[in-house]
Amino acid sequence: MRQLEQEVLHTLEARTAQELESLSNNIPGGVYACRNDEDYTLTYISPGFLSLLGYTRDELRTEADDLLIVLVHPDDRDGLRRSVRAQLAGGCSTTETEYRLLRRDGAAVWVLDRCRLTVVGGEERFYSIVLDIDERKQAEEALKLTLERHRIIMDQATDVIFEWDIHADTLEYSPNWLKKFGYQPTTGAISRRIPCSENIHPEDRSSFVRIMEDTAAGVPYSEAQFRIRDGQGRYRWCRIRATTQFDRDERPIKAVGVIVDIDAEKRHEQQLLDMAQRDALTGLLNKRAAQSIIDDRLKQGGVCALMIIDLDHFKQINDHFGHLCGDTVLSDVAAHLKKRSDPGCVLSRIGGDEFLAFLPCLSGREEAARRAEQLLRVLTLIPVQKGGCATLSCSVGVAVGPEDGDDYLSLCRCADHALYTVKNSGRGSYALYQPGPRPASFSPDLSLSAVSGRIDSGDLDYTLAQYAFRMLYSSLDVITAIPQMLEIVGRSCDVSRVYIFENCGDGSLCTNTFEWCGDGVSPEIHNLQSRPYCGGFGDYRDYFDADGVFCCQDIRALHPELYAGLAAQGIESLLQCAIQDDGRFLGFVGFDECRASRRWTREQISSLSLVSNVLSTFLLKQRLKERLARLEGRRPT
């Protein structure tokens, strides 16, 4: 009887082994059977299991003593035992555990072990299917690292991440919203509540509505700028970028994007624009800015007056008392004009000694005459010299719109005609334009005043910077516009070469990215790629002063190694202005003189520094857009 039982048992084991082997040939892993002892002694191993671990059957017997626990990664052995015991203690006859097995070459492979505990011949045995899940575990680990990396980025970044569920009309934000704006955002009924929310500036709500409509309509990518109120009630400029997600039927279901704080950038742009629009000495609008603003105001209609104010015999003030005294008088005139002007008034310095005042919302010609008389009375009280008894004399020409004209130039011509009348009558008074034949000596090109002329002092700085700002601001392609701007600056300032270097790599190198060369000057851009800042001369960035300027009249005064490198480019003298962002040195804009050593005047340094600042601002903005586009997998705009 005992012998019969043994024969039946062997038959069953053989049949089970055949079945297990047949099964294991069709799974990504293998099959094994083992005793339920401390080390899980193996009683059967399928070819697939051996192949998974890189062993032969004899190698497994001699090197691992047919013990499963020896094949398990040392860090996972105790965990495997605890897991199996815990599952069996819970009344289960099956267990499922993930752990690492060691291949014969020492590499670890993750497996999913699914066991069933059975009793054969009075002995407990596990019959197990082992699945290779190494790729899945690696993918899970990569995903975990990616999610952790994203969490770290989100924690360190100042931008706000959002997700809009179009159908549910709900909006979720990253925690940075509360950090940045100081209050809980609107999260439900977005399409109804946000367009009328006080948290968005009233003038910008249409931009927000547009980006929502575009997303709901299936536009893949949208971008807009608008102002969001913070916890202190101050509106901050932000840029929103939204990417649409679609379902399998290509219907838009969500928008995921980022809200970027660009308040400092916008205010810096406004500051540069304001600087480019104003006269350096008086702070009044320059001629071009005034013309643009006045033409816009004239479109609103209504009675208005345009006055041209000329300081009589101003050249004599400069000749007798000096230019500093003359500048003081000009500043005093500007201060009095500002003090006496209404909120809607437009004030401008249009020439060396001429000013313009545009007064809207008047009742008629009588009020225009009264305002001119008041203005004249105030200005003639200004002393020519501090402590002196001599006072200023002025002449004022007045044109009234729309009667005398409905655009800036028409009103200027009429006001200039009236000013000519005052000057011809002895000066020191005012006159309103009177239609009729003009004197033969009257010049229709406004040569009697500075309406079409240049301001002698300080005009170069702001005219050139203003042109650069307007050109780059209105350009659809900043990268194409910058070389054109370099040529304009180079020819206007009469330098040999204008160029831009930008940081590359880890910031220890710089590359010449833009260059313009004057006639007869050899280009060097191809020789100046990935150049180190540091050399035998020290760190090149240390040559820039606290204002970010490196000015050298004669390069022979520089370190011999630095001199040799610059001389090879044909440079005699140079002026360079740093590109900086939050104190970080990111490159520089340079101006070379290759004809002779050059003494850079304070005015030239000021002018070119301002132009460089404008160029740098737009270039940094463009590079940021390019980096964001690369991260988002789209072409830069």
What pLDDT was estimated at residue 440?
43
Q: What is d(CA 532, CA 548) in angstroms, rounded to the nearest whole number?
A: 19
In a domain, 139, yes or no: no
What pLDDT was estimated at residue 65?
93
Out of 50-59, 98-107, 149-158, 295-304, pick the least confident.
149-158
What pLDDT was estimated at residue 139?
84
Q: What is the DSSP letter of 284?
A: -
What CATH number corresponds to the domain at position 538? 3.30.450.40
Q: Domain check: are 7 and 48 in the same one?
A: yes
Is residue 487 helix, strand or coil? helix
Instruction: Return the top range by mean pLDDT from 200-204, 328-332, 560-564, 604-608.
Output: 560-564
Q: Domain check: are 218 and 358 in the same one?
A: no
Residues facing 575 on adjacent strands: 551, 591
Q: Domain check: are 539 and 624 in the same one?
A: yes
Q: Domain check: are 498 and 585 in the same one?
A: yes
Local confidence band at 444 (pLDDT 50, 70, 90 cut-offs): very low
- HSE (CB half, 13 Å, CA atoms) of 553? 5
What pLDDT was estimated at residue 442?
43
- Residue 1, pLDDT above cutoff 50: no
- Residue 445, pLDDT above cutoff 50: no
pTM over 0.85: no
Give me the sheet containing 123-132, strands edge to edge: 42-45, 29-35, 123-132, 108-120, 94-102
Phi, psi of 359 (to 5 degrees): -115, 110
Mean pLDDT value of segment 20-38: 76
- Residue 233, pLDDT above cutoff 60: yes
Q: Domain check: are 229 and 290 in the same one?
A: no
In a domain, 146, yes or no: no
Q: Domain check: are 440 and 546 in the same one?
A: no
End residue of a domain, out of 407, 425, 455: 455
End residue of a domain, out of 210, 231, 261: 261
Q: Domain check: are 386 and 505 in the same one?
A: no
End residue of a domain, out of 83, 117, 133: 133
Q: Domain check: are 480 and 617 in the same one?
A: yes
What CATH number corresponds to the domain at position 359? 3.30.70.270
pLDDT in tens, 500-529: 999 998 889 999 999 999 888 999 999 999
Q: What is d(CA 397, CA 451) in angstroms, rounded to the nearest whole number?
A: 12
pLDDT in tens, 527-576: 999 999 999 999 999 999 988 999 999 999 999 999 999 999 999 999 99
Is residue 537 helix, strand or coil? coil
Provide the residue type at 300 as one letter: Q
| 508 token code pair | 């220890």
Local confidence band at 636 (pLDDT 50, 70, 90 cut-offs): low
In a domain, 148, yes or no: no
- Residue 259, pLDDT above cutoff 80: yes
In a domain, 270, yes or no: no
Q: What are the DSSP calls for 148-182, one per residue?
A: HHHHHHHHH---EEEEEETTTTEEEE-THHHHHHS
| 378 token code pair | 């105030």
Q: Domain check: are 466 and 451 in the same one?
A: no
What pLDDT was estimated at residue 363?
92
Instruction: Return the top range by mean pLDDT from 153-167, 318-332, 584-598.
Output: 584-598
Q: Domain check: are 467 and 606 in the same one?
A: yes
pLDDT in tens, 355-391: 999 999 999 999 999 999 999 988 888 888 765 557 7
- Residue 439, pLDDT above cutoff 50: no
In a domain, 397, yes or no: yes
Q: Domain check: are 560 and 507 in the same one?
A: yes
Decide the pairing of beta strands 346-349 and 354-359. Answer: antiparallel
In a domain, 275, yes or no: no
Residue range of the domain that includes 429? 281-455
Q: Do 48 and 31 touch, CB atoms closer than 8 A?
A: yes
In a domain, 143, yes or no: no
3-state secondary structure 85-147: HHHHHCCCCEEEEEEEEECCCCCEEEEEEEEEEEEECCEEEEEEEEEECHHHHHHHHHHHHHH
The alpha carbon dihedral of 309, 457, 485, 225 has a sign of: negative
In a domain, 144, yes or no: no
Q: What is d(CA 31, CA 43) in angstroms, rounded to the nearest whole number?
A: 11
Mean pLDDT value of segment 193-203: 87
Is residue 68 helix, strand or coil? helix
Q: Domain check: are 69 and 104 in the same one?
A: yes
| 190 token code pair | 């977005």
- Residue 451, pLDDT above cutoff 70: no
Q: What is d(CA 143, CA 465) in angstroms, rounded to the nearest whole number?
A: 50
Mean pLDDT value of segment 181-205: 87
Provide the residue type at 388 as one letter: G
Question: Rounded mean pLDDT of the chain?
Answer: 84
Q: What is d(CA 190, CA 192) in angstroms, rounded to the nearest whole number?
A: 5
Tally of domains within the chain: 4
What CATH number corresponds to the domain at position 43? 3.30.450.20
Q: Do 432 and 365 touch, CB atoms closer than 8 A?
A: yes
What pLDDT was estimated at residue 206?
87
